[in-house]
A and B are shown apart, each in its own frame.
Chain A
Amino acid sequence: MQKDNNKIINKLAKSDYKYGFYTDIETDRAPKGLTEDTIRFIWEKKKEPDFMLDFRLKAFRHWQKMAEPTWAHVKYKPIDYQDITYYAAPHKKPQYENLDQVDPDLLETFNKLGIPLEEQKQLAGVAVDAVMDSVSVATTYKKSLAEKGIIFSSFSEALQDHPDLVEKYMATVVPYTDNFFAALNSAVFSDGSFVYIPKGVHCPMELSTYFRINAANTGQFERTLIVAEEGSYVSYLEGCTAPMRSENQLHAAIVEIIAHKNAEVKYSTVQNWYPGDKQGSGGVYNFVTKRGICKEKNAKISWTQVETGSAVTWKYPSLILKGDNTTGEFFSVAVTNNMQQADTGTKMIHLGKNSRSTIISKGISAGNSNNSYRGLVKMSGQATNSRNFSQCDSLLLGDKSGAHTFPYIDVANKSSIVEHEATTSKISEDQLFYSLQRGIDMENAIGLIVNGYAKDVLKKLPMEFAVEAQKLLSISLEGSVG
């Protein structure tokens, strides 16, 4: 069965990346390389307020003094930061009144991605902001959201329309000094999404952003800022894809979430950047800093992520539980295959009393890949009566992959309780045989079992996403997922 198993895994490994198309759209690019001039170029191009130039330059100057982190359990070729284009926008400046004016090629791109914008417009439920090569190209439902006072727009628009809000909150959770990639993003980010939910407003639909890298030799540096005022609620979805290219593409994003008193934010990601081919060439370097703060009491933030793409992932969606009685959650499924490497996890920093956090992480490693969970749970001296529970499981498919668990637990008060559990095992031969005996072939059986294994996390996803995520996980499970 081992042999069969490997065969199937190899087959899975060979399965095509179905988002690997490239759209031929003229783009407006900055010259390659990164200097203060590049930053001024971006700033001018985007007609940003003055404080942004100051912010970007400070970040850039700080970045120049920093070294790339090496502590993660990943290896990759050194990145030549001067060989990257830091700004590439679809040429036809996207200022649309309605979707009919959108470049048909672009619409086709989004259709291929499975985001039928036109359909979305009619269906109740999801409002979409699509970001392609760093520029937001379409935001649907803006008007109906505006009636409730909700702002959901591209970051650029927010800088034009609500500069005060952006200035007030931007970089308050992830300062540009935070880490190498955060500094880089702060210097050069070109767009992203901005969400503001006013006091007491329950956002009536899921807000969704799709990120797409299209142009060659381009880095994608987007920035998302979500502010939930007192007593508000929002569920936010993020999806990502990229074309297949033989060279590596850099994606260094920042997401910041601020949840005020009694507010709740759910942030869900299905990350499916191009993972590279099976020899490990090409693919996206996904170096992302995501952090939220439960600023005042009773605030709650949840991260749910399904990570299947990227050649190298370096990503730790984290939470600072500052207010008393705040809640933080992290639910993650990370699948690595072929030569993929993922070092992902979370940090739960408990500062407030009676704060609660839950971590559920399911890692699945196949092929020659390496999949690491890295997490920190910190109970400060003030965070009395706080609790954390973490469960981190790893499943190994095939004997050439690696599964690693690196939890860090720091506790500095006597009334908090921290529990961490982890297991590592291979996929069960008995479960596989049982499925085979029912006539289900190996490929589908693995898909079923893996989906079952990840169910605790998948069920946290909003419906539309859960289906997509299940498909992604089992790749060839067409039709079998009910």
Chain B
Amino acid sequence: MPESNNISNQPEVFKNTLTELFENNYDQIMENSSGKIKSLRQKAFGIFKKNGFPGKKTENWRFTDLNHLFRNDFIIDFETKSQKVDISNIFTCDVYDLDTYCVTLINGWFAYNNSPLTKLKNGTIIGSLYKAMEIYPEIVEKYLGSIAKLNEPGFVPLNTAFMQDGLFIYVPDNVKVEKPVQVINIVDSQKPVFLQPRNLIITGKNSNLTLIHCDHTLTHNISFTNTVSEVIVDQNGYVDHYKVQNKGRNSSLITSLFFKQEKGSKLFNNAITLNGGFTRNQVDLLINGENCSANLNGLYLMDNNQHVDNQVFVDHKAFESLSNQLYKGILDDQASGVFSGKVLVRRDSQKSQAFQNNKNILLKDDAKVNTQPFLEIYADDVKCSHGATVGQLDPNAMFYLRSRGLSERTARQLLMYAFAGEVVNKISVEPLRENIIKLVEKRLKGELSICDQCILSCNSREPKFIQNIVD
């Protein structure tokens, strides 16, 4: 671990340290970048240097306090590079009965058994972004940074300046990737680490992809991950995207997920947050072509003093498209939840339909929720609605169940499953749905530990790595 840096807990100091770090390690950071990517990094760095981190007064950060994240002893690693590891030695994970292409990122770097970048028979490329910059610069240049927004303060420009490795997937036109791709982000470090993985997913016209992101920590040490993903769904494409988060109490996770949909495409995005000390998920969707449909779902189950913040922005830039948001959360103990959903229907995006719903249950008086479902509409021929509720389990339903002989505890759990079920049941990959239902049940019973090695039911089977390798 060559680079160890002392970073103070003040955002300004943290920012200054990062800028110095960037300047001092300029050559190493730029090592793999083509001219275009270099200038993207420089631009992003300039923006970060100017704007720094968002503060309490930044509209979308009002309820999320960042100061405690900025630590003085984070390690940022520029050198590891993608590594050849026998993953099964550290970690096994898969979903029961679900055959996936499984890839792993360890501390933000791509880990592989055979090759850092593989090409399936159907032309699909899966592997390390770092390597892809080298081998497929024309693809990377075209898409990297094309939809991630640099103009917002903080984390996206920072990631763009520093990004090293992450997942790269390219699905050519007319290809249906039969098996889901499963990505496991593992944080495994004995020292506090600051990680900035970057993912780039491109699906071609008429193509299909199911992608499952799992976030884990294998350590109780402090970690801070700032992930940025860009997912492009070309015409008539279909992307089914899952994010399952089960991280340690000392881990902080900020993910910024950008989607762009072209004409006739379909998108499902599901964010399931089961545990995490501090989790912020930003989903930013640009509907760039007509007749698209997008379903953005989220479930968050928080206890202790965990904090989760979901920020969803849907930009209807084309006519006759549909977006549907459903985010639900149960907050226990002193946990706090934020939902901020914004739908923008631009002028001339006629016949848009946009729906937004956020429902919350508070189980304790010390739990808190802040919800802001916003609509900003500039076209008249639209159907838009939103709803937000904060409440408890329905006392009538509770009574009904108890009058049938169920204990209060069981009745409460049943109703909580039912509440969560509305989101979980939308998961279309059946084995995954089954597993997530089990996890949610376990979580609601208080039996799911963040120490479980794998949230998706660990078993002793060998991990499955990419087969069908042609090169």
Chains A and B directly touch (beta carbon < 8 Å): yes
Q: Is the CB of B389 within 8 A of A417?
A: yes
A-chain residues with CB within 8 Å of residue B59 when the two chains form the complex? 71
Confirm or deny: A172 has a beta carbon within 8 angstroms of a beta carbon on chain B. no
8 Å CB contacts to B: which residues of A362-418?
Answer: 379, 381, 384, 394, 396-418
Confirm or deny: A27 has a beta carbon within 8 angstroms of a beta carbon on chain B. no
Query: How far is it, in angstroms, between the C-alpha of A420 and the C-alpha of B377 when the chains are bound?
Result: 18
B-chain residues with CB within 8 Å of residue A405 when the two chains form the complex? 373-375, 386
Given contacts A407-B373, A409-B370, A411-B362, contact A418 B386 (CB under 8 A): no
Query: How far is it, in angstroms, between the C-alpha of A277 and the C-alpha of B133 when the chains are bound?
Result: 57
B-chain residues with CB within 8 Å of residue A399 when the two chains form the complex? 347-348, 350, 379-381
Output the least CB separation between B416 and chain A (Å). Answer: 14
Q: Which residue of B lies closest to A402 (CB)?
A: B378
Pick the residue among A381, A396, A418 that contacts B388 (CB under 8 A).
Answer: A418
Q: Is the CB of B368 within 8 A of A411?
A: yes
8 Å CB contacts to A: which residues of B351-388?
Answer: 360, 362-388
Given contacts A400-B347, A422-B385, A424-B382, contact A408 B376 (CB under 8 A): no
Confirm or deny: B28 has a beta carbon within 8 angstroms of a beta carbon on chain A. no
Q: Is the CB of B373 within 8 A of A420?
A: yes
Q: Is the CB of A401 within 8 A of B380?
A: yes
Output the least CB separation between B301 and chain A (Å). Answer: 15
Q: Is the CB of A407 within 8 A of B367?
A: no
Q: Is the CB of A397 within 8 A of B370?
A: no
8 Å CB contacts to B: which residues of A400-457?
Answer: 400-426
Most chain B CB inside 10 Å of its own CB: which residue of A379, A401, A412: A412
Q: Is the CB of B386 within 8 A of A409?
A: no
Q: Which residue of B lies closest to A5 (CB)?
A: B380
A-chain residues with CB within 8 Å of residue B384 when the two chains form the complex? 423-425
B-chain residues with CB within 8 Å of residue A415 when the two chains form the complex? 365, 392
Confirm or deny: B390 has a beta carbon within 8 angstroms of a beta carbon on chain A. yes
Query: How far is it, in angstroms, between the C-alpha of A413 and the C-alpha of B360 when the chains are bound?
Result: 12
Q: Is the CB of A406 within 8 A of B368?
A: no
Pick the residue among B367, B379, B382 that contacts A414 (CB under 8 A).
Answer: B367
Query: How far is it, in angstroms, between the C-alpha of A14 and the C-alpha of B364 when the chains are bound?
Result: 56
Q: Which residue of B lies closest to A399 (CB)?
A: B380
Q: Is the CB of A413 within 8 A of B381?
A: no
Given contacts A396-B380, A424-B385, A425-B382, contact A417 B372 (CB under 8 A): no
Confirm or deny: B391 has a beta carbon within 8 angstroms of a beta carbon on chain A. yes
Given contacts A414-B363, A420-B387, contact A404 B377 (CB under 8 A): yes
Q: Is the CB of A414 within 8 A of B373?
A: no
B-chain residues with CB within 8 Å of residue A406 when the two chains form the complex? 372, 374
Query: How far is it, in angstroms, between the C-alpha of A257 and the C-alpha of B331 when the chains are bound?
Result: 36
Q: Is the CB of A398 within 8 A of B388?
A: no
Query: How far is it, in angstroms, between the C-alpha of A397 and the C-alpha of B378 when the chains are bound?
Result: 11
Query: How far is it, in angstroms, between the C-alpha of A419 and the C-alpha of B369 when the chains are bound?
Result: 13
B-chain residues with CB within 8 Å of residue A403 when the two chains form the complex? 375, 377
Q: Is the CB of B375 within 8 A of A409?
A: no
In the complex, which range does the number of interface residues on chain A fall in?
35 or more
Q: Is the CB of A407 within 8 A of B377?
A: no
8 Å CB contacts to A: which residues of B122-136?
Answer: none
Query: How far is it, in angstroms, between the C-alpha of A405 and the C-alpha of B388 when the chains are bound?
Result: 12
Q: Is the CB of A414 within 8 A of B365?
A: yes
Query: How far is it, in angstroms, between the C-alpha of A280 and the C-alpha of B384 when the chains are bound?
Result: 28
Output the least CB separation between A69 and chain B (Å). Answer: 12
B-chain residues with CB within 8 Å of residue A413 when the two chains form the complex? 362, 365
Query: How far is it, in angstroms, between the C-alpha of A51 and the C-alpha of B383 when the chains are bound?
Result: 55
Q: Is the CB of B350 within 8 A of A409?
A: no
Most chain A CB inside 10 Å of its own CB: which residue of B350, B372, B388: B388
Query: How far is it, in angstroms, between the C-alpha of A23 and the C-alpha of B348 when the chains are bound?
Result: 44
8 Å CB contacts to A: which residues of B374-421?
Answer: 374-392
Query: How far is it, in angstroms, between the C-alpha of A426 and the C-alpha of B382 when the chains are bound?
Result: 7
Output the least CB separation between A68 and chain B (Å). Answer: 16
Q: Which residue of B lies closest to A396 (CB)?
A: B380
Q: Which residue of A lies closest to B340 (CB)?
A: A408
A-chain residues with CB within 8 Å of residue B382 when the two chains form the complex? 396, 424-426
Q: Is the CB of A411 within 8 A of B388?
A: no
Q: Is the CB of A409 within 8 A of B380?
A: no
Output the least CB separation between B149 and chain A (Å). Answer: 20
Output the least CB separation between B109 and chain A (Å). Answer: 40
Q: Which residue of A lies closest to B331 (CB)?
A: A414
Given contacts A408-B370, A410-B370, A414-B362, contact A426 B380 (CB under 8 A): yes
Output the least CB separation between B82 and chain A (Å). Answer: 44
Query: How far is it, in angstroms, between the C-alpha of A411 and the C-alpha of B386 when the chains are bound?
Result: 18
Output the least CB separation between B438 and chain A (Å). Answer: 27
A-chain residues with CB within 8 Å of residue B389 when the two chains form the complex? 417-420
Q: Which residue of B lies closest to A387 (CB)?
A: B391
Q: Which residue of B lies closest to A403 (CB)?
A: B377
B-chain residues with CB within 8 Å of residue A408 when the two chains form the complex? 370-372
Q: Which residue of B lies closest to A71 (CB)?
A: B59
Q: Mark B45-86, 1 if CB is under 8 A from A, else 0.
A: 000000000000001000000000000000000000000000
Given contacts A403-B377, A405-B375, contact A410 B388 (CB under 8 A): no
Q: Is the CB of A396 within 8 A of B377?
A: yes
Given contacts A381-B365, A423-B385, contact A411 B376 (CB under 8 A): no
Query: How far is it, in angstroms, between the C-alpha of A362 and the C-alpha of B128 when the chains are bound?
Result: 52
Pick the residue among B363, B375, B379 that contacts A404 (CB under 8 A).
Answer: B375
Query: How far is it, in angstroms, between the C-alpha of A403 and the C-alpha of B347 when the chains are bound?
Result: 11
A-chain residues with CB within 8 Å of residue B385 when the two chains form the complex? 421-424
Q: Mark B248-269, 1 if CB is under 8 A from A, else 0.
A: 0000000000000000000000
Q: Is the CB of B380 within 8 A of A384?
A: no
Query: How far is it, in angstroms, between the C-alpha of A170 and the C-alpha of B360 when the chains are bound?
Result: 39
Q: Is the CB of B380 within 8 A of A412?
A: no
Query: How far is it, in angstroms, between the C-alpha of A312 and the C-alpha of B364 when the chains are bound?
Result: 42
Q: Which residue of B lies closest to A370 (CB)?
A: B378
Most chain B CB inside 10 Å of its own CB: which residue of A73, A381, A410, A415: A410
Q: Is the CB of A422 within 8 A of B362?
A: no
A-chain residues with CB within 8 Å of residue B383 when the two chains form the complex? 424-425
Q: Is the CB of A422 within 8 A of B377?
A: no
Q: Which residue of A lies closest to B363 (CB)?
A: A414
Q: Which residue of A lies closest to B389 (CB)?
A: A419
8 Å CB contacts to A: which residues of B414-435?
Answer: none
Given contacts A418-B388, A418-B391, contact A407 B372 (CB under 8 A): yes
A-chain residues with CB within 8 Å of residue B350 when the two chains form the complex? 399
Pick the residue among A404, A417, A426 that contacts B374 (CB under 8 A).
Answer: A404
B-chain residues with CB within 8 Å of residue A73 when the two chains form the complex? 376
Query: How far is it, in angstroms, between the C-alpha of A89 and the C-alpha of B370 when the chains are bound?
Result: 47
Output the least CB separation between B305 and chain A (Å). Answer: 14
Query: How far is it, in angstroms, between the C-alpha of A416 and the C-alpha of B372 when the chains are bound?
Result: 17
Q: Which residue of A lies closest to B354 (CB)?
A: A424
Query: How far is it, in angstroms, between the C-alpha of A409 and the C-alpha of B377 when the chains are bound?
Result: 20
Given contacts A403-B377, A407-B372, A420-B373, contact A414 B364 (CB under 8 A): yes
Supplied contacts A411-B369, A420-B389, 14 more A-B pairs, CB within 8 Å: A394-B377, A402-B377, A408-B370, A409-B370, A409-B371, A411-B360, A412-B368, A413-B362, A414-B362, A418-B389, A422-B385, A423-B384, A424-B383, A426-B381
Closest 6 CB pairs of A and B: A396-B380, A417-B391, A424-B384, A426-B380, A411-B390, A414-B362
Cross-chain pairs A/B with CB under 8 angstroms, 15 sampled: A379-B390, A398-B380, A399-B347, A399-B379, A399-B381, A401-B378, A403-B375, A405-B386, A408-B372, A409-B388, A414-B363, A419-B387, A421-B387, A424-B375, A425-B384
